[in-house]
Amino acid sequence: MFKQKLKEFLSHGKTYSKRQIISAAIFPAALIYFEVIFRIISIKAMPGAFWWLAMPCASIAGGLLLSMLSTVTKNETVNNIFGAILLQASAVLFMIFHFVEFEFNIYIGPQSIFGGAKGVATEASNYILKIILGNWTTILIFEIPVILYLVFFLVFKKISFKRFKGIGYLQIILVAAIMEVIASLPICNIVPSWKAATSEYTYDTAIKFFGVQTATKLDTFYAVFKNPFKLHFVIENDPPVIEDPENYHLMDIDFDAIKDSTTDVGIRELSKYLKTVNPSKKNEYTGMFEGMNLIEITAESFTPYVVDEELTPILYRMVNNGFLFENYYQPLWSGSTTTGEFLILTGLLPSNGYYSMLETVGDNMYLTLGNQFLRRDYTSIAYHNGTYDYFDRNLTHCNLGYTKYVANGSGMYGLSGRTAWPQSDVEMMQFSIPRFKDNSPFNIYFMTLSGHSKYDSTNFVVNKNIDEVKAWAERKGYDYTNSVLSYLAANLEFEKSMEYLFAELEQAGILENTVIVMTGDHYPYSLSDDYVIDEKGHVDYFNVEANLINMFGFTPETNVDYSHNALVIWTSSMEGENSVVITDPVYSADILPTVSNLFGMEFDSRVLAGRDVLDPGTEPLVIFSDYSWLSSYGYYNHVANTFTPIDELKTSKETIPACFSDWSDLKTITWQNTTGHAYGAYDDLDDYIKHTKNVVKNKMVLSQNIPLYDYYGLIWGQIETEEVSE
């Protein structure tokens, strides 16, 4: 009986017509085509050997399921039309992933692109549309399967999506399942690809390893079920013995009690790991700013290349006085501005793109500067001159320790029209400063907007300042593209907002009692010229890379090149010879613990991914989204599996922007390699790389699981959060 049923099942395929078979093969063939073209046009790199097995099998599986969906009705014509829609949708998705990377220089998963009404797709829509209009060739290449489909459907009538019998659908599902299993074999059998799909997953890395389809499936799965593989840590040492805890940045936390109170694997693993982490030590700068006001600024698309002693004297003053960072980096993570803010405001790494910040809503974010200052009865307010619910800041920022989140559309008024884009930073300062300057001590956070694209004549802050920038560039003899000039004009508005801020604080007599902390959220990934159409209709389009090269003065190649930025930690008492140089690599996750130390806050350094850079005993480490990293010894490219010694990195020497003064005569803080070995505690480079990769993995897992499990809430108590605005 069973053999008879099996024979009938296997022989059922003979009942399909040739047109049905050809039609069913359309989607698998189209997906293979999309993947190959995407690899050639977008990734521009040869894949690993396993890709050649995984990609076709994944395409066959996905294509058969799409074919099955194209037979949902009894009407063959309706099915054929629906098939065309599905094929077009597939082409559009591949193009979206390509064009988003074209602008953001990083592949961003669907959960970040389409995350809520304020996802990347909304943010990028204006300039992505222009890119599409200027890249018809690319679009036509992706549209070839759709065009062929329509030709065979409308002209030759060769497409036939007839409804299958039940046994036919079972066959399709069975074959698709087998193909998915085969596609997964390389992932399971090759260590680098297994890590890229599981414990070291990022969408950017996965799409390069496995292709669009498999990476998107992984992204969707992890969006729904989280990432179960990011639970375990690589523990290399026993818990440290701290004989004088009052000299360290740690609090009385019983990790064993937390571990023993639950059966949840993630919480237990996190607790075991945290017990083994060495805390940072208090130092000569601990409490240096205690009792002073703080103004913290995340400057939209800021880079040190906008800083010039003549054009931007206030920014020049801040960058070249105070704590001076020779090697500061602001990495770009999937999620753009919101993940840049996440690094700065939480001291953790964004593990879930756009949703990283959103997942903190309802959690006890005990260690953010906002909440630390609230516990000291500071006036604590966040301001943003963009739309109030953009990136859901109306939900997130009050939970970060600001009693008010005031933005365009939620309490902020007097800006140059609700339709102006971007809004003026000067106007934001004019609105906000009178509302807090008489309420010392205060902790104020600004997320600026004037530096945002588009960098052309459609941007009203560019139009305000472009003549001034052009005159300056002509005097200096700088040969900048129109886009770079427009970018500088946009940032000149930010400079003028800083000039206004300084003047108001000085007039109020509180400038000398105020600390300013400022950096960018990411490099200007949308630094693109307008396209130019000549009389013959030819489109001359200048992409981001060309303008970055024009502004940088060199061709950026690595994370280090793109991410090099400036960090300001400034107060008037540290002008001139009182400044201090930090030579080691520093990045945005280090801001929170460093500023906490300077203000003498009580915090626990073990539960943060960043470090207090003023403690020379903490090993410098900059972590990038693809698990690459930069240390005092060099740069490790995780994707290429290569290590470049620090003295061979051009960014560490040649490309430090000219805006930085000669800091050689000032007091310098450099990490102390107390072991005396070549690579910290390791004589062998391979052992050092292996160790540091484990450190990076641990910090990634830590950063995912602290908000995932509301771990601060387990330590300091859970809270209730509500949206607050002026």
Q: Return the exposure string of 485-494: e unless at least 16 CB atoms fall within 10 Å of the residue's CB, then b.
A: bbbbbbbbbb
What per-residue confidence (pLDDT) applies to 650? 61
Distances in Å between the Cα of 220 and the Cα atoms of 215, 223, 230 are: 9, 5, 16
pLDDT at 466 over 60: yes
pLDDT at 556 over 60: yes
Q: Which DSSP string corresponds to 376-402?
A: TT-EEEEEEEEETTGGGHHHHTGGGT-
Average pLDDT over every residue of 296-305: 96
Average pLDDT over every residue of 126-151: 78
**pLDDT category of residue 725 using cuts at 50, 70 and 90:** very low
Average pLDDT over every residue of 474-496: 96
CATH 3.40.720.10 residue ranges in the chain?
245-716
CA–CA separation, 687 and 102 (whole Å)? 36
pLDDT at 507 over 60: yes
What per-residue confidence (pLDDT) applies to 78? 85
Q: Each residue of 88-99: pLDDT tens digit?
A: 999 989 998 888
Cis? peptide before 593, omega within 30° of 0: no
Closest CA to 305 of 681, 601, 657, 684: 657
Can you state the percent helix, strand and coil of the chain, rounding each to 5? 50, 10, 40
**Under 8 Å between Cβ of 552 and 629:** no
Interstrand relation of 642-645 and 634-637 (parallel, antiparallel or unpaired):
antiparallel
CA–CA separation, 590 and 669 (whole Å)? 15
pLDDT at 200 over 70: yes
Q: Which DSSP string corresponds to 653-712?
A: TTTS-TTS---TTSEEE----TT-BTBBTBSSHHHHHHHHHHHHHHHHHHHHHHHHTTHH
- Poorest-pLDDT segment among 114-123, 132-141, 315-324: 114-123
Q: What is the 3-state secondary structure (H, E, C) of 400-430?
A: HCCCEEEEECEEECCCCCCCCCCCCHHHHHH
What per-residue confidence (pLDDT) applies to 724? 44
Interstrand relation of 514-520 and 532-533 (parallel, antiparallel or unpaired):
unpaired
Mean pLDDT over the full length of the chain = 86
Q: Each residue of 384-431: pLDDT tens digit?
A: 999 898 888 999 999 999 999 999 989 999 898 766 778 999 999 999
Question: According to the per-residue pLDDT averaged within each range, which of 159-163, 232-236, 491-495 is highest?
Answer: 491-495
Indicate the fold that domain 245-716 takes in CATH: Alkaline Phosphatase, subunit A (3.40.720)
As a whole number of Å, the end-to-end CA separation of the chain is 75
Q: Return the exposure string of 448-465: e unless at least 16 CB atoms fall within 10 Å of the residue's CB, then b.
A: bbbbbbbbbeebbbbebb
